[in-house]
Structure 1
Amino acid sequence: MGRTILCPHCKSTINEDILKQKNSEDICLVCGGRLDDGGSADAKSDWITWYYYGLKDKKGNKTEITSLMDKPMDLEKFGDTHYLIKEFQAPPRDINGKSDAAKRELRKYVPDAFQEAKAVPKVQCPYCFSKEYTMMNRGFSIWTGFLGSGKAKRVCNRCKREF
């Protein structure tokens, strides 16, 4: 019979034999935290508290505008225009003054925070607005012959129309 291990995060007790059977000897089966928490305390000792705020409009409704600050905001004074979304621990700003490491840590709690805008393809079907199309060469015409056959035409993969 193996020994019993206490998780430092969720305070649950787990049998060591069960951990070996599940191939997770250093990860808690209940909360997913590391059981040997000795090395992570040194790595996170220089982390600071970050504050992720949202902005309210004039009517007091929440908007999509957000900000990330390393100092707390006085919500008694600015509570009518701002609200706290998340308070979390993350590394301080880097040498260049950027907070990219803090944004990566924030995405663990709020997945859609500071997402990069996806590049939208410029060409889309004017009929069904699909972005999937096939480039094809124009063929021979009885009326015009080979005139214009060097040009390409786009055919929508969804509605099969040419544009």
Structure 2
Amino acid sequence: MGRTILCKKCQSTFNESVLANRENPNICPVCGESLIDDDSFGEPPKETTKWYYYKEGGGTLTDTLYNRSPLYTFDATDVEDAKRQLKEVLPNSPLVKEKTKWYYYKGLTETLDDMLYDDFTPLYTFDATDVEDAKRQLKEVLPNSPLVNDNSPDIVRCPRCRSTQIQMVPRKFSLLTGFATNKIDRMCVRCQKRF
């Protein structure tokens, strides 16, 4: 003997073996309503996987458990869901910070700004989370920029354009200074400034 099926709309009960002999066993013979629960045949629930957040190296979100202990563990369906959960726990993490555009202007002074001005055209545009990330990207593109250069004392730079391309040239001779001078000057290859 089969099980008893209840119609949700008209509350009629039917034997499963009687409904199996009908042309369409999934429709109620009294009211014509479907006997199958729509929510039971909906989308199957997505499988959740464990995501692990490691703090080393600026933060790493991965689904692989390494031999070191993670800072946080999340049950999420995909990486975006894990990032959403991470943002609730650690809002200042570099993984969940929104990237903004940073613009590098070169004019009288070199600036790195997050505002786009109408009267200036930026030389470079970067997508970065903060100014340090933008400076790191600028250093990859333009390593001689004074914004990112470390002014170490052992590197000789041009005082006008800050270039490191320096050439040693002999000093000019004249009747007043004499012909026997052996002094040399430094000259910038880019802007031809002698110093």
Q: Quick check: TM above 0.5? A: no
TM-score (norm 2): 0.29
- Which structure has more RCO (C-alpha within 8 Å, separation ≥ 6)? 1
TM-score (norm 1): 0.33
Larger radius of gyration: 2
